[in-house]
Structure 1
Amino acid sequence: MTCRIMVVEDEIFVATEIEHVIEEMGFTPVGIASEKRAALAMASETDVALVDLNLRDGATGVTIGRILSQTHGVTVLFMTANPSQLGDGVPGAIGVLPKPVSDQELREAVAYAVACHCSTETQPPRRLQLFPRGGSLCPH
């Protein structure tokens, strides 16, 4: 089974670059969502979601991440230039990767999120800020 990954990001160039990396890694991109409605429409097809906070419809990323993880069982990893907006984290999400990210950091974070989704023991990448375990499915 290949892992299906959704990119929730409103900057199209950033989103397509992330999708390209996902494909290169051998995973299946589900699609790009630039706002809440589109993200939730793809939820049932998604295993892992990379979620920005500030999207086309406003600061809806936290709500999207919470719904994806708690209602749809999606493994959520936030990617944002504003990690402080997440406070102590979002229940069900594994953590946040501060932007900007290098290609290697993105690959490591995607691999970690996939391992978490598949309940595989793994070490988190150095720049990934993990949320407290409460509700996270990932072993760390």
Structure 2
Amino acid sequence: MSQRVLIVEDEALIALDLSHCLEAMGHEVVATVVDSEEALSVAPQGIDLALVDLNLRDGPTGPALGETLARKWGATVIYLTANPGQVAPGIAGPVGILPKPFTDAALTQAVSFAASLREGGSAVPPSELRLLAGAAVQGIRWEARL
């Protein structure tokens, strides 16, 4: 269940921590980029999962970037942000929002959830992950929490 992951984060220490955590999980980090232009230049290389901050070096471009990565390139997208209110409720494409700050355990659970869904399985979303309507757009199913 190894995934090719794109990290879109303009804070170097956060990006480095994400990269280490993902590699420890057995995923391949395709690239770590700081803005939308760089992300869109990497997407054609093939990515399975994108972790996208909302506020990047080129401004608050993360929400639109996440939609593009999901719709055009078929990536499973999780937003990482301290400002979840910046994501429109009806946004289509991305799976959900993992609010910052988050623990390595929360990141691991969110990435495992996304990977499971990408592989066509059903999964219970971690409590820290705020699901978006975009998950349904991708044909993703998840089990409701009781």
TM-score range, shorter chain: over 0.9
In 2, Cα distance between equivalents of 1:16 and 1:118: 26
- For 1:74, the equivalent position in structure 2 comes to 75
Question: Secondary structure of the residue that 2:96 maps to in structure 1?
Answer: strand
Shift of 1:134: 4.1
Cα offset, 1:116, TM superposition: 1.8
TM-score, normalised via structure 1 length: 0.94
Deviation for aligned residue 1:12 = 0.7
Partner amino acid, structure 2, of 1:9: E
Kindly report structure 1 stretches of 4+ aligned residues shifted beyond 2 Å. Answer: none
| CA apart distance, 1:138 | 2.2
Change (3 A) 1:114 1:53: same
Structure 1 unmatched ranges of 5 or more: none
Structure-to-structure mapping, 1:4-15, within 5 angstroms = 4-15=4-15
How many residues align structurally?
A: 140
Structure-2 separation of matches of 1:32 and 1:137? 27
Residues 35-46 of structure 1 mapped to structure 2, 5 A cutoff: 35-44=35-44, 45-46=46-47
Task: Tell me the CA shift for residue 7 of structure 1.
Answer: 0.6
Deviation, 1:119, is: 1.5
AA in 2 matched with 1:60: T
Q: TM-score, normalised by structure 2?
A: 0.91
1:30 — aligned with what? 30
Alignment partners' CA distance in 1, 2:21 and 2:5 = 11
Instruction: Describe the SS at the equivalent of 1:42.
Output: helix
1:94/1:137 contact within 8 Å kept: no
The equivalences for 1:1-140 within 5 A come to 2-44=2-44, 45-132=46-133, 133-140=135-142
Gapped runs of 5+ residues in structure 2? none
3-state DSSP of counterpart to 2:95: strand
* Percent of residue pairs identical: 39
Distance 2:3 2:104 in 1: 19
CA-to-aligned-CA distance 1:16-39 (integer Å, 9 cap, x gap): 100101000001011111001110
**8 Å contact 1:66–1:90 — kept in the other structure?**
yes
